Amino acid sequence: MVTTRAPISRTRPGPGPRHPAKWWAQFPEVSDRFDAAVVTEGLSDLIIPKIDSPLLRREAEIAAEVVVLHLNKPLSEELETRAIKGVKRLVATVSRLNERSTADDDGTTESWALCHALEGRWAEAAAEAEPFVGTQPLLRVFVSALRLERFDNALAVRLLRAGHRPEAAVHSGLIVGKYAWWPDWLIRIVSERAVAGTLDDDFITALDRCAYAELSPIQAKMARRLLNGDEMLIEATAYRLENLGEPATAENLRDGDLTAVALAARLIPL
């Protein structure tokens, strides 16, 4: 990570960031594999095209390129030296432009955001860049930088856009990634529950049993209704279970034990 003296940014008038820096700072905390090179390169790719001045944009490209090279090869002393010099040069250039300008919008807002990104201050960079690059592109960059295996990136981004905390979104993304072999109707239930904020371990256990139950389309439809708490169907199914000699399972189903759903659905006629 390249560090230089932190610049004092000047922001252009307009709406503030949709998420503060402390919100973006949660992402490195939810993955011990958070990739500095990925997030830095992603932020650079989003921010640099927004820099109006061709000369400043070119200097920004040069600085970003060498910083990303260094992050991908952190043991290289040569790249580290070049990266530090490149960032210092960019910070000095942007500072001079600030000093010479008396306008509130001096055209350096984007450049300051990039400086922060290249210094490893990704949260600050994202908060500053969000008004001019948009939320979803930033979310994709930060989620990609998590570098999690068997992880549903699309669901995580969807949950983050819906207002869920990064920790909760990552948890749900890991669940769906782990159980990607589940049938589509179960994946849809997981996604719906995740968005509603009602996905817990008991529910996952119940879904796992349904996944192994080899249900027909009709049985799967009934299982979905049972999982969603259809009271009339639950009572009718419990009554059928009692008649089939499964009073304990019927009682569990009435008591809201979701693990009974798989057996109940399999007893529904094809």
- Do the beta carbons of residue 234 and residue 195 sit within 8 Å? no
Residue 64 in this model has a pLDDT that exceeds 80: yes
Write down the pLDDT at residue 13: 36
Write down the pLDDT at residue 81: 96
**Residue 23: pLDDT band with limits 50, 70, 90:** very high
Residue 60 in this model has a pLDDT that exceeds 90: yes
**Residue 91: pLDDT band with limits 50, 70, 90:** very high
Q: What would the pLDDT profile of 66-83 be if each residue is shown by its tens digit?
A: 999 999 999 999 999 999
Write down the pLDDT at residue 199: 82
Q: In the predicted model, what is the mean pLDDT of the chain? A: 86
> What is the Rg, in whole angstroms, of the alpha carbon atoms belonging to the chain?
26
Write down the pLDDT at residue 179: 85
Task: Write the burial class of residue 170 (CB in 10 Å: 0-12 exposed, 13-18 middle, 19+ buried).
Answer: buried
Mean pLDDT value of segment 12-22: 65
Write down the pLDDT at residue 9: 41
Write down the pLDDT at residue 102: 55
Give the Å distances, CA to CA, from 194 to 44, 110, 180, 203, 222.
31, 35, 15, 11, 21
Residue 199, SS3 per DSSP: coil
Q: What would the pLDDT profile of 99-129 be if each residue is shown by its tens digit?
A: 876 555 556 899 999 999 999 999 999 999 9
Question: Cα–Cα distance between 63 and 52 in angstroms, integer?
Answer: 17
**Nearest CA-CA partner of 233 in 217, 219, 212:** 219
Quote the percentage of the chain above a pLDDT of 70: 90
Mean pLDDT value of segment 199-207: 83
Write down the pLDDT at residue 10: 42
Mean pLDDT value of segment 204-224: 83
Q: What would the pLDDT profile of 146-190 be if each residue is shown by its tens digit?
A: 999 888 888 899 889 888 889 889 988 888 888 888 888 888 888
DSSP state for residue 50 in the 8-state scheme = G
Residue 198 in this model has a pLDDT that exceeds 50: yes
Write down the pLDDT at residue 208: 85
Query: DSSP characters for 59-70?
Result: HHHHHHHHHHHH
Residue 4 in this model has a pLDDT that exceeds 70: no
- State which amino acid sits at residue 2: V
Highest-confidence segment of 15-19, 74-78, 220-224, 242-246: 74-78
Quote the percentage of the chain above a pLDDT of 90: 43
Which has the minimum average pLDDT: 16-30, 66-80, 83-97, 131-145?
16-30
